């Protein structure tokens, strides 16, 4: 064996134990240990069955990320699983925690599987631009059926143990000690005379369904929901091979498709996204011995859409939360909004009635600030107006207990000016949730100039507690995400003055991979929000900077987006599908005429570069100013909060992949043509001149 895999023989049962903290990853030593352990068990004439267990908090949770990008070392995982499945003695995988990726593939190689009730299994490789490459695409459909296998493999989403039993992936559930459960099940196999039941020889999952129709349907779904992604199509092709080929040929086809994914340029972007998310939780200048405060109770100020979403995020995490509104009427609206949100989840089948009531019981409505005296963290989510927020924090300072975290959900205002209205600015931090807060994963943690290290660490811990992707940002107008998206949206609107339509701009950026076009997004959030930001910026920015005027014309006409039935698009009652707004065309003509612009056709590449490179140039300025710690943090924000396509890695990674010299050349052209909004960021100029990338710069910090 190896240091991380040991073999014990108890009577006629071989117990193989993996112990490779923290997640029992399938590094070379584990693979070699498993191979030798199963070979020894098979060669030992006294052994009649094998149980595979893992120590620690989880079964094998996947590949060893330390081996990413390195030459493969023998034995390969497919070779190991071939030995496990080929063993002439029955084996059982004892699953707890998670069995993900190669971990589930190892379990599928075993002849039987049992799992703790709270375990999860899945094949998430598609999220790294890959497909399961050690038999997962061939063995899973043989047990679970083509439909379930496609769902799991193409989405990469794990399922719970009970669902795994329902789909014949797991044989039964257990409670209690892992070793005892594994030995007992192996003993049953021997006593009942059950021999090896090799997954690769099973066919029940491939029978009784129109597999060709299921594969066609999944192709259509991917074309609609994952347009431009490379690996999901290869995942489908691999599962299709399982329906048509013997196991050995199917495994060969799987390896061919795996190699295609491995060599895809999208894989680099997706791997970057994966590691960037892990790195975002590391704060460069935070002392290692700083401990976060305990957060057991929360409060939220404001029962609007955002406030309720934040409260539900707390309830979803099991944290009791008080929701404060100015009067009982407003409070009842907020509480009803909370119930309606959960009821929609129940209707979709993603939440049970029992779970809904349990979570709603954690949300207590209050109308007096004094009721917040015992809260460990209070999140302000009131109207985006400085004086209103300052008044709220003045009251919180008076009633909240010492050591309470006072957090603002402001999306753009000066956190330091808010903190100044308290006698404890060191306890003030920004927690910028994204709407809907109970759904969106991103959380910008805004570090004020007086925010203490302990409070910053606690804010990050709160994000983790609420299952958010948290990124530390500094104080400036709009922080990182909204400061950059202002540049993006401004350029999109300038394109309307030059001759484009909202449909053309939105289509170009959707084709690039953005989840939504900028004008559909503005209509969704409300044009009045952007107008308020522009008014504030006009008062502080140089007078010679030009602003687009189309949005202001729409606001003046009362067309604020979906909530008024018209904005850049028109919306029919009860239908959010955007239609052409016939009143917009004259406004576009007028906006162009007022600035002496001759309208002309614009090509898609120009539209994309005009919007995306505006993000990149502003991102470079943000890095120089120290508002973001690293370029990958900006990517994490855009991937998780703004619908940037994961297969492009985020705006800064995308710029690296294009080449910063090419990006700079385009930025300079636009600076000459469009004015000082496009003044090149000094960092962009420096890196382009040195032939470096944002990633290089980040590594050197």
Which residues are the active-site residues? 105, 125
Sheet holding 91-95, edge to edge: 5-10, 13-18, 49-54, 91-95, 112-116, 172-174
309 CB-contact burial (10 Å; exposed 0-12 / middle 13-18 / buried 19+): buried
Which residues touch 124 (CB under 8 Å, ≥6 apart)?
Answer: 62, 100, 101, 156, 157, 158
Encode 355-392: b = buried (16+ Cβ within 10 Å), e = exposed.
ebeebbebbbbeeebeebeebbbbbbbbebeeeebbeb
Give the chain's end-to-end CA distance (angstroms, integer).
42
Q: How far is CA 355 from CA 164, 318, 346, 358, 546, in A?
A: 21, 11, 9, 5, 52
Angle at 531 between CA 528 and CA 535, to 5 degrees: 140
CB 200 within 8 A of CB 247: yes
| Continuous segment of H or E residues that includes residue 121 | strand 120-122
- Closest by CA position to 106, among listed 88, 90, 126, 91: 91
Which residues touch 385 (CB under 8 Å, ≥6 apart)?
Answer: none
Which residues touch 396 (CB under 8 Å, ≥6 apart)?
Answer: 301, 369, 372, 378, 380, 406, 422
Q: What is the largest CA-CA distance in the chain?
A: 91
- Closest by CA position to 616, among listed 667, 661, 665: 667
Q: What are phi and psi of 322, to 5 degrees?
A: -100, 135
- Closest by CA position to 119, among listed 70, 172, 75, 76: 172
Helix (H, G, I), strand (E, B) or coil at 17: strand
- Closest by CA position to 302, among listed 433, 489, 466, 440: 433
- Closest by CA position to 629, among listed 461, 458, 465, 444: 444
Instruction: Give the distance from CA 208 to its chain's centroid.
Output: 36
């Amino acid at each position: 064996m190896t240091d991380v895999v040991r073999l014990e023989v108890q009577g006629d049962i071989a117990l193989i134990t993996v112990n490779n903290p923290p997640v029992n990853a399938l590094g070379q030593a584990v693979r070699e240990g498993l191979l030798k352990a199963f070979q020894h068990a098979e060669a030992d004439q006294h052994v009649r069955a094998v149980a595979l267990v893992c120590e620690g908090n989880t079964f094998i949770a996947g590949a060893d990320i330390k081996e990413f990008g390195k030459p493969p070392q023998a034995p390969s995982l497919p070779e190991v699983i071939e030995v496990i499945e080929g063993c002439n003695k029955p084996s059982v995988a004892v699953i707890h925690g998670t069995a993900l990726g190669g971990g589930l593939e190892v379990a599928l190689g075993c002849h039987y599987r049992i799992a703790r009730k709270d375990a999860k299994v899945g094949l998430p490789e598609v999220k790294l631009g890959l497909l399961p490459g050690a038999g997962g695409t061939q063995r899973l459909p043989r047990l679970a059926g083509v439909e379930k296998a496609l769902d799991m493999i193409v989405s990469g989403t794990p399922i719970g143990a009970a669902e795994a039993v329902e789909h014949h992936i797991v044989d039964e559930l257990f409670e209690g000690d892992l070793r005892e459960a594994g030995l007992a099940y192996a003993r049953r196999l021997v006593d009942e005379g059950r021999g090896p039941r090799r997954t690769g020889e099973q066919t029940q999952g491939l029978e009784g369904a129109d597999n060709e129709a299921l594969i066609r349907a999944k192709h259509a779904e991917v074309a609609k929901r994952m347009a431009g992604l490379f690996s999901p199509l290869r995942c489908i092709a691999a599962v299709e091979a399982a329906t048509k080929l013997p196991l050995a040929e199917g495994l060969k086809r799987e390896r061919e498709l795996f190699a295609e994914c491995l060599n895809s340029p999208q894989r680099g972007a997706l791997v970057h996204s994966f590691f960037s998310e892990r790195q975002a939780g590391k704060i460069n200048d935070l002392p290692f011995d700083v401990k976060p405060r305990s957060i057991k109770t929360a409060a939220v100020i404001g029962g609007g859409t955002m406030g309720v979403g934040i409260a539900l995020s707390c309830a979803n995490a099991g944290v009791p939360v008080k929701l404060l509104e100015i009067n009982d009427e407003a409070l009842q609206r907020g509480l009803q909004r909370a119930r309606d949100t959960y009821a929609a989840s129940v209707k979709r089948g993603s939440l049970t009635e029992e779970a809904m009531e349990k979570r709603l019981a954690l949300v207590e409505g209050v109308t007096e600030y004094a009721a917040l005296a015992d809260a460990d963290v209070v999140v302000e989510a009131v109207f985006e107006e400085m004086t209103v927020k300052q008044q709220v924090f003045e009251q919180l300072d008076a009633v909240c207990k010492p050591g309470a975290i006072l957090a603002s959900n402001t999306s753009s205002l000066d956190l330091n000016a808010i903190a100044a209205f308290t006698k404890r600015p060191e306890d003030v931090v920004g927690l910028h949730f994204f709407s809907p807060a109970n759904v969106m994963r991103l959380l910008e943690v805004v570090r004020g100039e007086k925010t203490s290290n302990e409070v910053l660490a606690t804010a990050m811990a709160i994000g983790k507690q609420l299952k958010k992707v948290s990124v530390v940002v500094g104080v400036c107008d709009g922080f990182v995400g909204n400061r950059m998206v202002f540049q993006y949206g401004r350029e999109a609107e300038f394109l309307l003055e030059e001759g484009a339509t909202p449909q053309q701009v939105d289509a170009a950026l959707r084709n690039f991979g953005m989840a939504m076009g900028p004008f559909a997004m503005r209509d969704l959030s409300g044009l009045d929000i952007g107008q308020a930001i522009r008014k504030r910026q006009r008062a502080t920015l140089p007078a010679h900077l030009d602003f687009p005027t189309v949005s202001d014309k729409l606001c003046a006409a009362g067309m604020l987006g979906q909530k008024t039935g018209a904005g850049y698009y028109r919306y029919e009652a009860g239908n959010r599908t955007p239609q052409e707004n016939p009143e917009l065309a004259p406004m576009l003509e007028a906006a162009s005429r007022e600035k002496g612009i001759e309208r002309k056709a614009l090509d898609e590449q120009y539209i994309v570069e005009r919007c995306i490179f505006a993000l990149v140039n502003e991102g470079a300025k943000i890095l120089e100013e120290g508002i973001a710690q690293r370029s990958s943090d900006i990517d994490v924000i855009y991937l998780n909060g703004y619908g940037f396509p994961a297969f492009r890695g985020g705006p800064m990674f995308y710029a690296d992949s294009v080449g910063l010299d090419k990006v700079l050349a385009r930025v300079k052209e636009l600076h000459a043509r469009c004015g000082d909004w496009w003044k090149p960021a000094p960092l962009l100029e420096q890196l382009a001149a040195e032939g470096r990338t944002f990633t290089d710069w980040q590594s050197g910090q």
